[in-house]
Amino acid sequence: MADTTSTNGGGDPMTGLAHSEAHYFNSYNHHGIHEEMLKDEVRTKSYRDAIYNNRHIFKDKVVLDVGCGTSILSMFAVKAGAKHVIGVDMSTIIVKAKEIVAANGMSDKITLLQGKMEEVTLPFPEVDIIISEWMGYFLLYESMLDTVLWARDRYLRKDGQGLIFPDKATIFMAGIEDGEYKDEKIGFWDNVYGFDYTPLKRTALTEPLVDTVDLKAVVTDPCAVLTLDLYTVTTADLAFSLPFNLPIRRTDYIHALIAWFDIEFSACHKPVRFSTGPHTRYTHWKQTVFYLADVLTVEAGESVSGQLGCRPNSGNRRDLDIKIDYRTETGDVHRKAEGHCEYKMC
């Protein structure tokens, strides 16, 4: 018999499906990333709402979709009345996107170009609106923001009437109690079938973990650390070091700091927003977990403050070097703690 009580084995007790939904995106799957993004309803419906509910903005406009993937955003824009949409993507998914656009009778409204944004030739000298779903894990990891900013500077109309969907992104942090899982992820390496695997423990501690965090694990208030305004931000701004302060909500331990981001389409008649935080619905971005070398012992009313630093790795700009300095703000000398952790997303 199948071990149906196992976390991993058997079907999903909540959905009753033969397969475990939860394992879904683990699967070997050629177009898996596009399937995952499309099925991320928080993401896709936010874009849909931002576009469909603002037909007065899209009507007769020329739109550029940066990193168009399967062209879902391009088709939303056509449905919202755009005069023409140009979709650009480096990936061979563009071949499928062309078939999809044709299947939906929009080939005359959407021009799809495979190549680097910086290298393709657009059929219009400038565009009225840029739409893009460019966000990566931790907002910035393997993100296409650089490309969006390049497209903004090169193609967005220069009269101040050009719009970017979305146009605002904010990184938040919080502290979590996570002893059991930290033990499983980090402590595991202390004894692997009787062997000392601590060389991999050191690596594990420097790797942020992208995973879903239960709201109940959150011990602090959130803190907005960085807000990017896509009309004004430059590539240089993506290397930063900024302070954070996390008020402690309850007496507990802190094993990790987490980060997530919120996205806003503020050009909408009524702004559309979504969050990738632990307090709201699952998105494929989940949250990013930074385990601390120490366990912090904190009490309600105190706080953890520090500095979050992030910059592209000098050797490989796709990798992120992240630094976190932290200290507990407490009057209890026995619980004072401070530290400095370095992480790499690569």
- The nearest distance, CB 229 to a second copy, in angstroms, is 27
Look up 142 and say whether it is catalytic.
yes
Residue 7 in contact with a second copy, rule: CB under 8 A: yes
CB-CB contact of 106 with 78 (8 Å): yes
User: Which CB, 7 or 234, lies closer to a second copy?
Assistant: 7
Residues 239-268 that bind a second copy (CB under 8 A): none
189 three-state secondary structure: helix
* Gap between the Cα atoms of 245 and 250, Å rounded: 15
36 three-state secondary structure: helix
User: Which CB, 24 or 231, lies closer to a second copy?
Assistant: 24
Measured in degrees and rounded to the nearest 5, phi and psi for residue 44 equal -70, -40
Residue 273 in contact with a second copy, rule: CB under 8 A: no
Strand 84-89 to 338-345 pairing: unpaired
Residue 315 in contact with a second copy, rule: CB under 8 A: no
Residue 34 in contact with a second copy, rule: CB under 8 A: yes
Q: Distances from the Cα of 279 to the Cαs of 13, 75, 90, 214, 283, in angstroms?
A: 23, 31, 34, 8, 11
Residue 128 in contact with a second copy, rule: CB under 8 A: no
Token pair belonging to 309 = 């630093």
Among 123, 159, 193, 236, binds a second copy (CB under 8 A): 193
- The nearest distance, CB 315 to a second copy, in angstroms, is 15
Q: Which residue stretch of 109-117, 159-167, 199-207, 306-314 sits at the interface with a second copy (rule: CB under 8 A)?
A: 199-207
Residues 72-101 that bind a second copy (CB under 8 A): 72, 75-76, 79, 96, 99-100
Look up 342 and say whether it is catalytic.
no
Residues 143-182 that bind a second copy (CB under 8 A): 176-178, 180-181
Token pair belonging to 335 = 């619980």
Residues 212-241 that bind a second copy (CB under 8 A): 212-217
At 125, the amino acid letter reads: P
* Gap between the Cα atoms of 111 and 182, Å rounded: 48
Residue 9 in contact with a second copy, rule: CB under 8 A: yes
Among 67, 87, 208, 306, binds a second copy (CB under 8 A): 208
- The nearest distance, CB 126 to a second copy, in angstroms, is 28
- The nearest distance, CB 177 to a second copy, in angstroms, is 7
Residue 108 in contact with a second copy, rule: CB under 8 A: no
Token pair belonging to 139 = 């907002």
The one catalytic residue in 142, 180, 184, 342 is: 142
* Gap between the Cα atoms of 100 and 97, Å rounded: 5
Radius of gyration of the chain (CA): 22
Site size toward a second copy (CB under 8 A) is: 87
CB-CB contact of 176 with 163 (8 Å): no
Token pair 């739409």 is at which residue?
131
Q: Name the residues annotated as catalytic.
A: 133, 142
